[in-house]
Structure 1
Amino acid sequence: MPRYALKIEYDGLPFAGWQAQAAHASVQGQIEAALARLDPGFAAGARIAAAGRTDAGVHAMGQVAHADLAADWEPFRLSQALNWHLKPDPIAITAAARVTEDFHARFSAVGRKYLFRLVARRAPVTHERGKVWQVLNPLDAEAMRAGAAHLIGKHDFTTFRSTMCQAASPVKSIDRIEITEIALPSGREYQFRLEARSFLHNQVRSIVGTLERVGAGSWHPDQVATALAARDRAACGPVCPPQGLYLMGAVYPEDPFDPARNAGGADQVFAD
């Protein structure tokens, strides 16, 4: 059966997360239902695999999944047909590509990157409601960067993972935490960009929630190092809400959506 990689964008608000659930709408479930209508060989109960299982309310700009289909689809036609069958759900297939049988959206990925958007302003957000986390007062971006520096590298992140996390080990390596401050007409936006091979459950939201406390002046930046060293979930700052979080892309040794680019010998590229 031909295998296809799908690049997926979605608004996570209407869904109970990526993973298919019997009683609630999910992104995975909606795409699988569309595939079943489109490709008779995609049997009922068949599953697609994704680079990351986003929680309820979390968005994606560059989720990657793979599916095994019976028909030999031209990739562009496959993406357009899927988009038709996904209406009116806020899910879009932005690219599709034929891949080899050994490609796996989750296990072939060597990195993930996330964006978290936080807006500080007094008035309620309107156009961005459900797309950002709002706080009332401006934050100290330099203090947050100083706190984030303690988290770069390989650490035991027990403090920053959910008690329900199923990962075999709490040890992870964070390659990048970049914090950008953007002036808005009526406030400020803070964008947190995090990159790692993989993340623990709720790790990004736990980190951003803790850094917000640093930016607000409630924590000293060095308290982030103390919390990390505690290896205790109780030492973590508050976990921020999901609506500001976006899965921006997955990293593969070769970009499944641009084979010609990788023919030149690029080592790693983002599928975003």
Structure 2
Amino acid sequence: MSAPAERRRTPPSAAERRPTPPNTAQRRERPRWPGPSLGPPAGRSGGQGCCAGSPRVPSWVAAEPWSERAGRRAPFRTLTRGLRPSLQARLSQPLHGPAASAGPPHTTTAAAAEAGVGGRAAGGKPAEGSGAEGREGRRAAPGVAMVVCPPTRYLVFFQYFGTKYSGVMETSNDQTLIGVQNYLEKAMQNLKPVAPVKFHISSRTDTGVHALCNSAHLDIQRAPGKPPFEEKQLVHGLNRHLKPEPICILNAHRVPSTFHARFSALSRTYVYRLLMGCSHHSEIPVFERDLCWAPGGGYLNVPAMQEAAQFLVGTHDFSTFRSLSSETPFQSPVRTVFQVDIQPSSGFLSHHYEHRGLEFWELKFRSRSFLYRQVRRMVGALVAVGQGKLTPHRIKELLELKDSRAFPPNAMAPPSGLFLKSVEYSEADLDTTVAPGE
């Protein structure tokens, strides 16, 4: 508040507080800035009025000439007597910095407009960096343009419980079950990137298939003035917005812009869990449901299955062991399987029901890539061998037929016991060749 007002012992009346506008002749003689109201001090984002939530300043107050030397002429104290003390203090400040000589208070230099310093860029549109998203721009010095960093590419490893999803790939949101990718990209948008982010998934999984470790690459561009995400910062931020979904980001790596999560992978490893000793599916432990397959008929002939599995190792035409899809005409059926193992395993809390004689087994398959439903068909054929429905040598004959119609009907394994265990990359791309979960 001005000095004369401070010496009053009684508050001024409403008539005394109301500013008296100058007459018409005075308004015509005074130079006016083009704007209808006073602009903010230099280096501040503009809006309507001098500050958010403040009363609108009359146009005849804006006509008061500015002076960098004295701030305001003497009549200004009288004109602002009815305004709030905080607003009086802001309006009383003289112009400083480069904007003082550039023109009226609400204008900025071209570089400052690009950085969002003036709040509005050319054409009257909000400048990037103004408002709630432009705190970085408002802190920058006037006249200095903010540097826009190029997108940063990351490789993220993640896991999920696949029973409640339509698969890992993105689907339309109007479906009953949607893909894991929908939730990943929604969580990424909550981290406020400049442009929408797309996850490029390395390995596709179907409905009900789980992943101990899948991977994807993504390009993130942040707002001007903000540095790229640190790896741990990105992991924690995504996991925070993925709750309560059964999806978890394991870790992240910054990779070159030429890296591709799908085509740069050296190999992929799948594991299928079998439960033996159950005569009916109702005998499966509650904590193992949707996580394994219990084939009917009791125990399986594991040595015969191991013998048959060796026919699947190597480079073959796996046309018999793939399901037809829209991509079938465009994909080569030739694949190289590096490893097929059948080993005993342990179940969740299995020591509490050892007396029931249940046995868990894992079938592991490793290759650079697999055909559509190839793993589930190979598991189903090996289980048929263990049940005595097929001979081990029949697996070799099926490979030589090279016809998907030759596959035994209803022999494909269900998706509930299948897990994508890991995706492996070279040391040139990552610090280690072993992916999480391996």
Whole-angstrom CA distance in 1 between matches of 2:435 and 2:244? 28
Alignment TM-score, normalising by the size of structure 1: 0.91
CA contact (8 A) 1:254 1:269 kept: no
Are residue 26 (structure 1) and residue 179 (structure 2) matched?
yes
Are residue 194 (structure 1) and residue 368 (structure 2) matched?
no
Are residue 15 (structure 1) and residue 165 (structure 2) matched?
yes
Are residue 134 (structure 1) and residue 294 (structure 2) matched?
yes
Whole-angstrom CA distance in 2 between matches of 1:27 and 1:58? 11
Are residue 251 (structure 1) and residue 424 (structure 2) matched?
yes
Whole-angstrom CA distance in 1 between matches of 2:323 and 2:403? 11
- CA gap of 1:130–1:154, structure 2 versus 1, over 3 A, is same
CA contact (8 A) 1:35 1:42 kept: no
**Aligned partner letter, 1:181:** P
CA contact (8 A) 2:270 2:422 kept: yes
CA contact (8 A) 2:335 2:370 kept: yes
Are residue 223 (structure 1) and residue 394 (structure 2) matched?
yes
Aligned equivalent of 2:317: 156
Aligned equivalent of 1:100: 256
Whole-angstrom CA distance in 1 between matches of 2:326 and 2:313? 21
- Alignment root-mean-square deviation, CA: 1.6
Show structure 2 runs of 5+ residues with no match.
Answer: 1-150, 223-227
Whole-angstrom CA distance in 1 between matches of 2:423 and 2:317? 23
Whole-angstrom CA distance in 2 between matches of 1:89 and 1:129? 19
2:245 aligned residue (77, 85, 89): 89
1:236 positional shift = 1.9
User: How many residues end up aligned between the 2 structures?
Assistant: 262
Whole-angstrom CA distance in 1 between matches of 2:314 and 2:192? 44
Whole-angstrom CA distance in 2 between matches of 1:269 and 1:201? 25
CA contact (8 A) 1:133 1:244 kept: yes
Show structure 1 runs of 5+ residues with no match.
Answer: 262-267
Whole-angstrom CA distance in 1 between matches of 2:423 and 2:206? 17
1:205 positional shift = 0.2
1:50 positional shift = 1.4
1:254 positional shift = 2.2
1:41 positional shift = 2.1
Q: Aligned to 1:195, what secondary structure does the other structure show?
A: strand
Range that drifts further, 118-127 or 209-218: 118-127
Whole-angstrom CA distance in 2 between matches of 1:39 and 1:231? 50
**Aligned partner letter, 1:221:** P
CA contact (8 A) 1:252 1:271 kept: no
Aligned equivalent of 2:220: 69
Alignment TM-score, normalising by the size of structure 2: 0.58
Whole-angstrom CA distance in 2 between matches of 1:12 and 1:153? 30
Whole-angstrom CA distance in 2 between matches of 1:4 and 1:30? 17
Structure 1 or 2, whichever has the larger Rg, is 2
1:163 positional shift = 1.1
Whole-angstrom CA distance in 1 between matches of 2:265 and 2:390? 35
Matching of residues 209-220 of structure 1 within 5 Å: 209-220=380-391
Range that drifts further, 176-185 or 131-140: 176-185
- CA gap of 1:129–1:255, structure 2 versus 1, over 3 A, is farther
CA contact (8 A) 1:10 1:90 kept: yes
- CA gap of 1:139–1:113, structure 2 versus 1, over 3 A, is same
**Aligned partner letter, 1:209:** G
- CA gap of 1:42–1:11, structure 2 versus 1, over 3 A, is farther
1:59 positional shift = 0.5
Whole-angstrom CA distance in 1 between matches of 2:428 and 2:414? 31
Whole-angstrom CA distance in 1 between matches of 2:294 and 2:231? 39
Q: Percent identity?
A: 35
Are residue 125 (structure 1) and residue 285 (structure 2) matched?
yes
Q: Deviations over 1:152-191 (max 9, x none)?
A: 1000000000111625210001010000124762311120
Q: Aligned to 1:53, what secondary structure does the other structure show?
A: coil
Are residue 177 (structure 1) and residue 340 (structure 2) matched?
yes
CA contact (8 A) 1:114 1:247 kept: yes
Are residue 242 (structure 1) and residue 415 (structure 2) matched?
yes
1:2 aligned residue (125, 131, 152): 152
Q: Aligned to 2:218, what secondary structure does the other structure show?
A: strand
Aligned equivalent of 1:265: none
1:17 positional shift = 0.2
CA contact (8 A) 2:169 2:201 kept: no
CA contact (8 A) 1:125 1:134 kept: no
Larger strand proportion, structure 1 or 2?
1
- CA gap of 1:87–1:20, structure 2 versus 1, over 3 A, is same
